[in-house]
Structure 1
Amino acid sequence: MHAAESSVSEADSIPVSPARPSVGAYAAVLAECSRLLGERTAAQLEALHDHLLREVQGAVRETYDALRSDVFSELLRTLRQHGPVAAEAFPSHFQRVSRERMARSARSPATSRERIGTRVELSLLDDKVFSESLAVRTQGHILASPCEDELSQLRARVARMFDEDAVDEMRNPLAPEAVAEALKHACWTLECSDAAREALFIQATRLLAPTMPQTYRALNEYLDERRVLPRLRPHVRRDRVRALTRREAAPGATADLVKRLVAPASSQGASPPVGAQGGNVSPVVLDALARLQRGEGEVELGGERFCVDVAAAETMNVLRALLDAGLARQVGALDRVVIDVVATLFDLIFDDERVPEAMKGLIGRLQLPVLRLALVDHDFFSNREHAARRLINALAQAAATWDGEVTTDCALYRVAEPLVQRIQSAGGSELGAFVDALRRLETFLAEQDRIADEKAATLTTALSAREAQEIARGIAAARVAPHVVDERLPVTVRDLLRDWWSAVLADAALAGGEDGDAWQDALATMRDLVWSVQPKSGGEERQRLVRMLPGLLARLRRGLDDRRMPEAAREAFFAALVRHHAKAIKNDMQAPTTAAPAVAAPVASPQAIGHDGLDELHRGDWVEIALEAGQRRAVRLSWVSPARTLFLFTNRQGARALALTRGELARRFERGEALLIDDEPLMDRLVADVLEAYRPQPAGATS
């Protein structure tokens, strides 16, 4: 395509790494990987069979729960009778799961998202399917937890074979969740109850998990041989740099210079001569720094030679090295403070544990460009909206909230690295290079947020429906509760109200609210039922009961039919109700010596929610959530239900979604399993801290 034919100009495009081969070129490699993973996992399952028997036998002896003991006993008999059936069935099931995921990957992204969204939404509405899907995801996490390093490499390789920046785990044919899904199907081939199959699924996963690193290492070795990303670049590592240093001999003078740095430009008056404290840095100094920035290893300045390996900027503070080599002698006092402050900022960035190592290396390459900009534009220190500050903030925040390890092969790095390279190559001190890079990065991150929100939107309808159902159930339970605990009522009536009529009330509340006709009718029916079985004190009450019964029975039958109460149970209830009415008419219904107090259950409505601090959470906030095996993930609050009882979180890439009830989220915060990520931008915090450190301290204070 000619440049004139492109619908997106070069200036508006986001630079990424060169295009990679399509999945078709790797179809045979993926098929072989799938075969290897299936066969090796099956072999491990067969080798673990005797261990599994001992585990199940121990569970039979040690459990005090009669039902669980029966389940494990049934499983033990089945395993002894049929042997390692799951191991034998696993390869074929894994091949099918793998093929389904490959077929899913072949579709367009939009179609794939629609299919995934529809499947998840249906699962949310179908409790059995939802429970099974959740079990597969949970066991998939257990299989993945011991082999994050191996999976990090494998995911990068699979993404390359798919010709994508990052592969969605739902479409990854080699993912641990695919193994868990196939294992679940294999366990369900056993001729035993679902409870025993589920117990086998959980026990087998737990025993299989420690063997998975070896299996995934074998896959990576095979892909190495096939030259699919044969050499992954190592993560950037660096030694701890020196802490904040103070180089100025006169603290009072330094404080005055810092005030000039953060003062508005209009208040500084005329510019002083070059080399004085005014801070007009010499063009010769700027030119020397520009040449170092572009990769010249050595420059001469003021009769002194300065050597910098630009590549070392990823792992060390090159500004400190320049200061140590005598750069401070070539500039005025104010510019010396500028250099020292910028160097200290990068010291702190390198030491910040919240910034991943790979991103520290990328930000480190901006040392010379940021220094040159700060020397000519002191607005860098006082303006929070400065493009250079915002660019570093965006890089650090995106990396800190990236799901999974930030490596030089992840999508974020592959988008950001060309932007940094452009700034380095420009060699000028113009702000425009940073503005352009910031715009491109924010475009990429906004698209990531859009995709995540789009995927989350496929769940929100179902979650809203669930919230409405839960609120309706809570309202119904509150109305039924006083009668359920009233021991003066027959047990038959109390059981019906608790088990069936509360559901009728919930349906009515969901359909039209508490002002609707259905709710009023169901509530009146419950009141009439309760009154009908109470002792009748005179002829007038007996006559009222006789007149009421036909309509009451008809309304009860209609409501119970709507809830599909089994016919046998329904007829047994109505037979018992006849006896209760006969007793009520004879006025011989016996009351207990003490009546149980009528205690209403709390209504699960927005008004009943306690002050747990969660109302301070807003859409777009980032929270660090503790997962299985001690891992922690940064997730973004993508949606809050209308009544704020459900919170939906997604990762930055939109590949994972986590829905938590208000109570569960509050408990996680209380236990420290959820932490609100500080939203103060990195550079704003560091600039404030560094400038504060340069201010004179009160007499007697320690430095």
Structure 2
Amino acid sequence: MHNDGKVVPINRAQATPSPLARLPVVLLQVRDKAAQQLQQGLQELFDNADDTLFEMAEKARSTVDHHIFFEAMRDLRLKRKNFERVFMEQLFVAFANLGQARCSGAHLVPLVSYEAAPGTSADDVEKAVALEAMLGRVRHRDGLALGQLDARLSELLGRRLEDPENPLGPARLCEFFLQAGRSLGVEIRVKLVMLKLFEKYVLSDADLLYGEANQLLIATGVLPQLKTVPSRRAGGREAREHQHYTSQAMVAPPLDKSGQQAFSALQKLLVAVRGSVAPTLEASAEPQPIATRDLLRLLSHLQQYVPEPGGEDDFDLRNQLEQLLTRGSVKSGKSRVLEEADEDVTNLVAMLFEFMFDDSGVPDAFKALIARLQIPLLKVAVLDKSLFSCAEHPARRLLNDIASAVIGWSPPYDHPRDNLYLCIEQLVQRVLNEFVEDPAIFSQLLTTFSAFIAQERKRSERLERHTRDAEQERLQVEVARQRVAHVLNRRLVGKTLPPSVLQFVQQAWSQVLLVAVLKHGEQSLQWQAALRTVDELIWSVGLREDTEAGRRLLEQLPGLLKALRDGLAGAAFDPFSTREFFLRLQAMHVQPLDDEVLVEVREPFILGAGPPGADEPLPHDDPDLLKAKQLRAGTWVALQQNEAGTLRCKLTAIMPPADTYVFVSRAGLKVLEKSAGQLALAFKQGVLHALDDGPLFERALAAVVDNLRQLNRGK
């Protein structure tokens, strides 16, 4: 948890004499009124965060995501009061600092930059993009009221107040929110959710915040001549209660609507690969860029000749474009080249697809299908740069959803022409046939594909639950069998018994004990009674008539026989199948046994399949063993099998008591069962590796940006 030691508590902020002494009373009234409204907004935010995260957990595509959102709900509940306290403390400190000559402590919300220092994560970039978009929307919507508030505060303080210094400005409010949220141990998706909720429940009421503040200042004669800005809506927060708000709307903000800001940052990195797409002509030819509209026409032409999956020749996007440019250059007598921005887009899309072709998460059978989307995605990127900055862009989501759906596809377990393959093949063909320049086709196909996947996932989740339940029951039975075999072997090994009695105990009475332990447990009266009965049986056949115990046996025999019959009946044994045993038992009890008919029990018997073979012992800190133990339910893995190819499967559960790792296919059926030691050995041999099921486009973009940074540093 981050230390809040640098945050000044409210009581300290209020008690600091020098800054507050210089603040006019009306400014303290503005502060208190704003604090009341902001506190109300934060409370509403947290009241709705629980429902929002719960809905997202219910719609999660994986067990891992489901767990992430539920853990976030728990974290928010625990840290809510501290979050609100830190936010309000910073608000009071910011007002206190207005009494000083210049507010030097303002930390501006960072701008998005793909050219961040080494170590800056893609999460930080995405958060920065979201913040910039939020600030832009507030300034566009409420800029006039905010400008009037800045002017009135400047008049009141006797100096020019810059917008970032205004404690009620959107940048400062976002800064307070981010600082308060530093203690939350949540991942980037949850942080973006919280930012969107902050925008909805706090920043969306900025007009009311600025309106109240302006009215208080006007009432005391501060620049009353400025025309009052009317509120954007009547009812304010109350009107919002009637609006339907879903998690989909929440996680799909129009980040950097044009996408130009993010793309401009990327262009600084793409300088390193410029010149990759150029005609092969004499250097003396005069370069002449082709217009973007002409490039789109060229791409639409190429789109009609994208090869079918399984073709002999690979489709190299940049090479194909070079050939077209060369042809055009020969005809015109000039070196026809791409505009700088268009070449950057082309290089970026080509590099993204190169990553996808090498990505182990996508089965080879589907890489050929995804490859056919290169030109349509390039056309989308040329038309709409927000493809690179908005995670909810329909074309980007469609690609991600395809990759997510196929991660568990592994022939020969999946037929090469099954429903999933056919669905994606038809979807890709529709893009190639129908997409010219209207990107609406991607939204339509995304809706269709999402519905198809939802149905598939519903069936597989139902089978997966059944698989888990069946495996849990099977393992419980196996553990119970081992326990029964153990207690009987303790009683049998080393004893000399009649063969019929030994057979009865191992084959029949073991089942009575098994039923007792499964239905009632080892602490039950039924289990204890069954053990006493077998002890009495073994004792009874070892007695001699000439002993005192032997002479009393006839008195105890009826009770023993009844206990044996009752036990067998409780285990649903057919009485006719044990009739011969009881006849022999009675004969044993009424006449001496001949030593020749007895057998000595030397070896323990095994009930059922028996315990699994012991793994080769590995040190507890063995890296591959640690890797195996770090696997969590929902993780997809690929196991290279000899003649059967590669098996892709998902860890559905780690079953006690032996921590058995149970894996299922994408259909939800069990395909693999391993111990941690066996998984560690597979990791060592290089035949097993975990698959990254994160969004494909995001992983590709992060890898490409990293590669570009390295290229630029190497120059």
Please give the TM-score of this superposition, normalised by the length of structure 1.
Answer: 0.46
Instruction: Decide which structure has the larger Cα Rg and report it.
Output: 2
Please give the TM-score of this superposition, normalised by the length of structure 2.
Answer: 0.46
